[in-house]
Amino acid sequence: MTEIKNIFCIGRNYEEHIKELHNKKSERPVVFSKPTHALAVADGSIYDLPANQGAIHYETEIVIKIARDFEKGKTADQLVDEMAIGLDLTLRDIQSELKQQGHPWLLAKGFPNSAILSEFFAFPGVEACKRAVFSLQLNGEKVQEGCMVDMIFDLNEQIDYIGTHFGLKKGDIIFTGTPSGVGPLKDGDQLLLQWKNEEVGSCTVHLA
């Protein structure tokens, strides 16, 4: 996998996902991060996940990779060279507790193997992405499907916001938000990530 520097994530970026978790829509992007040791590749491997910290939810997302350092006014088409389909795994019970306390989400989002990525492939441009769908199959059943056109904050808005407030450099990646259909994983679940009708990654989870 290409070397990755920083992992930025956008929360609450699809209307139906906001509704299913009974959250409130934000007027600006909700940004959180994951440590790089959360990374794993969806290459058919089996990944260990914590079994004693409550429900672990899958969240399927388009992930973009920054090809050159951020400059104000540069667009996604100018700054992004590759993309992947990713799984942002979440310790949902812990996240709920953290939200109630007004604390950051890192404990719920940053555990090992919580950022699973397909292999990166060429980014076809924003407009082409708006005409395509990405999805997740869980044990052979499609459980999530999304399209970038339904994002609340599009790629240009995400890049500008993150780049302005945190900086963005070559090698950084952005998980761009998940559509509705998130749910819990159980031991032995098999996951298949898809872009359009192409299989781009798979893995199996082991709760230990």
Domain boundaries, given as residue ranges, for the chain: 7-43+55-134+145-184
pLDDT at 1 over 70: no
Q: How far apart are CA 6 and CA 187, in angstroms?
A: 29
**Can you give the pLDDT at residue 185?**
98
Query: In terms of Cα–Cα distance, which of 87, 52, 108 is closest to 181?
Result: 87
pLDDT at 89 over 90: yes
Class of domain 7-43+55-134+145-184: alpha beta
**Can you give the pLDDT at residue 140?**
97
Q: How does residue 154 score in pLDDT terms, banded at 50, 70 and 90?
A: very high
pLDDT at 69 over 80: yes
pLDDT at 105 over 70: yes
Tokens of 91: 């310790």
Going by C-beta distance under 8 Å and a sequence separation of 6 or more, which residues neighbour residue 170? Answer: 5, 66, 67, 68, 69
Q: How does residue 188 score in pLDDT terms, banded at 50, 70 and 90?
A: very high
pLDDT digits (tens, 9 = 90+) for 159-172: 999 999 999 999 99
pLDDT at 56 over 80: yes
pLDDT at 85 over 70: yes
Q: How far apart are CA 57 and CA 169, in angstroms?
A: 29
pLDDT at 2 over 80: no
Mean pLDDT of the chain: 96
pLDDT at 99 over 80: yes
pLDDT digits (tens, 9 = 90+) for 138-147: 999 999 999 9
